[in-house]
C-alpha cells in the first residue's frame, strides 16, 4: 500500500481526494504529519504551483508526496479566476467574497460556461509527475447548497441540475475534476515505472 503526504492544509480537499482514491493509496495530511506551513502559490500556472508544493514538502520531509492546484476557468471572463481562484477577491481566501465577486463579474450574462481544472502533482522516488482532471459545466445564478467548499455552491457540472454543493461527496465524485486526476495518478502508481 502506497502512502503519500498530501502537500496542503485544505482538509476539504484531503477528504475529497481520499474518497476519490479509496483504499488504493493512503493520504497523510500535513496536519497529521505535524507540519504547519502555508506553501506559497507564486506562479501563473496550475502546473507550476502544484509542482512547487510537492517540492517544498519533499525538501522538508524527504517523503513521497502529492499536491494539487485547481482553478475555476470561466469562458466569459477569459479563463478567470483560473490560477487565482482561491484569492480572487483578495488574499484572505474568503469563499463567500470570491463567489460574490464572480457573480458580480458575470452580471446578467447568459454565457456562463465554465470548467474546473485540476493539476495533481506527484513527487515519488525523486521524480516528478503531473496528472490533469477537467470537469465542464456552468455557473448558476445564485449560490445553492451547503456541502463542499469554494465555488461548489455556484458550479453545476454538465449532465447535472445540481451544484457541487448540493451533492454528497459520492455524487460529486462522479463528475469531479479531482477524481479524474486522482484516477490517472492511481493508474500510474499501479502500472507506472517509477
Query: Which residue in 38, 44, 69, 92 is the catalytic one?
Result: 69
Please state, in angstroms and rounded to a whole number, the distance separating the CA atoms of residues 170 and 158: 16
Please state, in angstroms and rounded to a whole number, the distance separating the CA atoms of residues 52 and 57: 9
Answer yes or no: 92 catalytic: no
The residues assigned a catalytic role are 69
Amino acid at each position: 500500500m502506497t502512502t503519500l503526504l498530501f502537500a496542503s492544509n485544505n482538509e476539504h480537499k484531503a477528504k475529497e481526494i481520499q474518497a476519490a482514491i479509496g483504499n488504493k493509496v493512503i493520504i497523510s495530511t500535513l496536519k497529521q504529519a505535524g507540519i504547519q506551513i502555508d506553501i506559497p502559490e507564486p506562479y501563473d500556472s496550475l502546473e507550476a504551483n502544484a509542482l512547487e508544493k510537492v517540492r517544498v514538502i519533499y525538501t522538508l520531509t524527504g517523503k513521497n508526496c502529492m499536491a494539487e492546484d485547481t482553478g475555476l476557468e470561466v469562458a466569459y471572463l477569459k479563463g478567470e479566476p483560473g490560477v487565482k481562484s482561491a484569492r480572487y477577491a483578495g488574499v484572505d481566501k474568503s469563499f463567500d467574497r470570491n463567489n460574490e465577486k464572480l457573480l458580480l463579474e458575470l452580471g446578467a450574462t447568459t454565457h456562463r460556461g465554465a470548467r474546473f481544472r485540476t493539476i495533481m502533482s506527484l513527487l515519488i522516488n525523486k521524480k516528478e509527475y503531473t496528472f490533469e482532471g477537467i470537469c465542464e459545466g456552468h455557473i448558476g445564478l445564485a449560490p445553492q447548497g451547503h456541502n463542499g467548499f469554494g465555488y461548489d455552491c455556484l458550479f453545476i457540472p454538465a449532465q447535472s441540475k445540481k451544484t457541487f454543493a448540493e451533492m454528497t461527496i459520492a455524487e460529486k465524485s462522479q463528475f469531479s475534476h479531482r477524481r479524474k486526476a486522482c484516477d490517472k495518478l492511481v493508474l500510474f502508481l499501479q502500472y507506472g515505472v517509477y
